[in-house]
Amino acid sequence: MKKQKAYAAAGVDIDLGNKVKATLPRLLASTHRREVLGKVGGFGGLFALDLKKYREPILVSSVDGVGTKLKIAFQQDKHDTIGADLVNHCVNDIAVLGAEPLFFLDYLGTGKLEPHVFTDIIKGFARACSENKCALIGGETAQMPGFYQKGEYDVSGTIVGVVEKSRMLNGQKTIKRGDVVIGIESSGLHTNGYSLGRKIFFEKLKLKPSSRVPGLKGTVGQELLKEHISYGPLVQKLLKNFNLVGKADQVKAFAHITGGGFVDNIPRVLPKSLDAVIKKGSWDMLPIFQIIEQKSGVPDEELYQVFNMGIGMVGIVAADKAEAVQQFIKTQNHKAWIIGEVVKGKGEARVE
How far apart, in whole angstroms, are the C-alpha atoms of residue 221 and residue 147? 26
Strands (E), 84-206: 100-110, 135-143, 153-164, 180-185
Can you tell me whether residue 44 is helix, strand or coil?
coil
- Report whether 241 contacts 315 (CB < 8 A): no
In the chain, % of residues over pLDDT 70:
94
What's the rounded mean pLDDT across residues 282-305?
Answer: 95
How far apart, in whole angstroms, are the C-alpha atoms of residue 349 and residue 264? 7
What's the rounded mean pLDDT across residues 343-352?
Answer: 96
Q: What pLDDT digit, counting tens, does each position of 265-283 carry?
A: 999 999 999 999 999 999 9
**Residues near 158 by beta carbon (within 8 Å), at least 6 away in sequence:** 61, 62, 63, 90, 104, 105, 106, 107
Interaxial angle between packed helices 232-242 and 322-331, expressed in degrees from 0 to 180 and rounded to the nearest 10: 130
Q: What pLDDT digit, counting tens, does each position of 169-214 carry?
A: 999 999 999 999 999 999 999 999 999 999 999 999 999 999 999 9
Given a cut of 80, whether residue 15 has pLDDT beyond it is: no
- Report whether 343 contacts 275 (CB < 8 A): yes
Q: Which residue has the higher pLDDT, 39 or 234?
A: 234
Q: Which residue has the higher pLDDT, 42 or 155?
A: 155
State the Cα angle at 160 between 347 and 317, rounded to 5°: 35
Question: Whole-number mean pLDDT of the chain?
Answer: 92
State the Cα angle at 305 between 285 and 153, rounded to 5°: 95
